[in-house]
Amino acid sequence: MTEKLKRRRIRPRSVLIHAVLLLGTVTMLLPFLWMLLASFKTYQEVMHIPIIWLPSSWNLDNYVEVLGNMHFGRYFFNTLVVTFLTTAIQLTFCALTAYGFSRLRFPGRDAIFFGFICLLMVPTQMLIVPRYIMMVKFHWLDSYAALIIPHFISIYGTFLLRQYFMALPRDLEDAAKIDGCGYIQIFLQVLMPLMTNACLALVVYTVVFNWNDLLWPLLVLNSEKLRTLAIGIASMRDEHTVARHLMMTAGVISTFPLILVFAFGQKKLIESMALSGIKG
Amino acid sequence: MKETTEAILAEPAHKRRRRKLNAMGRREAMWGYLFIAPGTLGVIVFTLIPLLFSFVMSMTDWSMLNTPHFLGLANYRELFQDKTVRREFQNTFLYAFGTAPIGVFISLVLATLMSTKIRGRSFYRVAYFLPYVSMPAAITIVWQWMLNSDTGIVNAALGALGFNKVAFMSDPKLIMPVMIFISIWQMIGYNMVILLAGLQNIPQTYFDAAKVDGAGGVKQFFTITIPIVSPTIFFLMIISFINSFKAFDIVYMIVGAHAITSGGPLANASRTAVYGIYEKSFIELRMGYAAAEAVILFLIILVLTFVQFKLQNRWVHYD
């Protein structure tokens, strides 16, 4: 009896909570849904007033047009390559540097690391002008070197991984040293396998940043064939002539890969994002 | 330590061992330098040198085409009198002050609702998180269309409810609120994930005790939830502020289409500091002047980051 009453009393409140959360969910997901629906519509359908909600036929004509004739297939591939390379290289060098700063002792170590910490506060947006000039001088303009090499080390990534290296017990290395392992072996075979969570956090952060970044690629890339998805979208916007249903198709191609990865790998990925949250 | 040193000095056997230790130490140091060398070199080349170069450049009239002249602080003097620059910083502050407090507050309310034992929590969490990983350039285009006065679904919904159409995307008075809205929409999921972690640390007994005292949900929210997660709230505020100061993509997507009329009212109402740096350096080719604006922006972010560092040890979610 009391059990029943209790349940009944709780109900209206949880209905209210669900109503609020669902309203929020609709606001969060509506743009993606709207974009997805529009990617199947025709020009007439997207420009129609009053609004047509569902496309009349579910064909892939827009995707063929955007991926092929508008070269988004190439942009997609470019973005994938740049994101993959930047992430892999950055993870490697951040891990090496972080290992040096955390597990090895040498004169000047803490002073150099303090320098890193000081530079952690410098936002890269502030450095675009001198970095751009540097790319000009190195003759890296309009090549992927300009996208990848300046990002081969991340101070934040080094800082993040160092914190995790510090937390690992020292006995691990001592045992390995007695077995005659060298530093590279200790790094690769003993410590790195224990760093998967920290590495995942950095990978997620780097992938999301590089996949979506607009400012830097916009500055250093000119050729149409090197464009990334973000520049592809931005230049569609500038050209004025591109019809809306095709822009939405390009939007789906640019946003859905990461969205799907997060939707399916959600628990681990989202939690690792929370761990990497100390980014300033 | 002192004892061992004396012992080593006294006995040759130990002396040998010490030499061996030293050799090991040298080897360790050599490997240490090797491990940090590439990263340190990268930081020097791609962060330290550009940083120093920014300061030097900000005191010249360099356009990348001329021989630079040293101007002293003339760029900074001009900067403080430049109406466009003033507007850029005003907009940036407005954007930051709009985004950070409102965004964090909404996230906190939603996270609190979600932290009660309700069904579908992980579904909600993903749904709210997806905007955070989506490309700002792409979603700005979608929102631009959704908020369009003729073909947008938001205005269609307003019309169906009997309201007048609102020119969200073309009214200079509304463009900043719209930018703040899009930015909050993108940040909520991230804020929530971090707040949820903080909320889980609050012992249930606090709420039970409050319930016995007859405190309702709203009162519990203000007297228990907010005070306990306040370090997290403050942390997120600072993070949101710093991120807002770097805003570029949304502005570029809104102003970029109006590049010819970049002095127009819509552009004036939405241009931010990073957009200003971009325009001054890469469109007007005033590298030195742009560098001066970058230095000012840096100083503001520096102060904010300093606050964040000071408060970092108060941030609970570091376990």
Identify which of B32, B133, B277 has the shortest CB distance to residue A104: B32
Same domain, A14 and A80: no
Same domain, A25 and A80: no
Q: Which residues, listed in sequence order, are joined to residue B60 by a DSSP beta bridge? A: B70
For residues A54 and B245, give the distance between their C-alpha atoms in angstroms, rounded to a whole number: 39
A171 in any annotated domain? yes
Same domain, A16 and A83: no
Domain count along chain A: 2
Which percentage of chain A shows pLDDT scores above 70? Answer: 92
Same domain, A231 and A179: yes
Better-predicted residue by pLDDT, B120 or A86: A86
Please report, for chain B, the start and end positions of each structural domain, with discontinuous segments joined by +. Answer: 2-57, 76-312
* CATH classification of the domain holding A90: 1.10.3720.10
A64 in any annotated domain? no
Which residues of chain B carry a pLDDT beneath 50? 1-11, 316-319
**HSE toward the beta carbon, residue A223, CA cutoff 13 A:** 9
User: Is A280's pLDDT higher than 60?
Assistant: no
A42 in any annotated domain? no
A61 in any annotated domain? no
pLDDT at residue A163, rounded to an integer? 87
**DSSP state for residue A122 in the 8-state scheme:** -
Same domain, A77 and A23: no
Average pLDDT, chain A: 88
A36 in any annotated domain? no
Better-predicted residue by pLDDT, A98 or B151: A98
Please give, one letter per residue, the 3-state secondary structure of B232-273: HHHHHHHHHHHHHHCCCHHHHHHHHHHHHHCCCHHHHHHCCH
Whether B24 and chain A come into contact, CB under 8 Å, resolves to no
The CA radius of gyration of chain B, in Å to the nearest whole number, is 27
Same domain, A149 and A226: yes
pLDDT at residue B32, rounded to an integer? 93
Q: 3-class SS at B170?
A: coil
Tens of pLDDT, residue by residue over A150-172, are: 999 999 999 989 988 988 888 88
Same domain, A247 and A123: yes
Q: Which of A62, A37, A27, A86 is nearest to A212 (CA)?
A: A86
A38 in any annotated domain? no
pLDDT at residue B151, rounded to an integer? 81
pLDDT at residue B258, rounded to an integer? 53
Same domain, A8 and A92: no
Find the residue in B nearest to A207 (Cα).
B133
For residues A37 and A54, give the distance between their C-alpha atoms in angstroms, rounded to a whole number: 7
Same domain, A79 and A188: yes
CA-based angle A46:B134:B200, to the nearest 5? 130
* B residues 123-152 lying closer than 8 A (beta carbon) to A: 124-139, 141-143, 145-146, 150-151
Residue A18 lies in domain:
2-29
Q: Do A245 and A45 form a contact (C-beta atoms < 8 A)?
A: yes
The CATH architecture of the domain made up of B76-312 is: Orthogonal Bundle (1.10)
Q: Which residues, listed in sequence order, are joined to residue B70 by a DSSP beta bridge? A: B60
Minimal C-alpha gap between A73 and chain B (Å): 16
**HSE toward the beta carbon, residue A16, CA cutoff 13 A:** 8
pLDDT at residue B256, rounded to an integer? 67
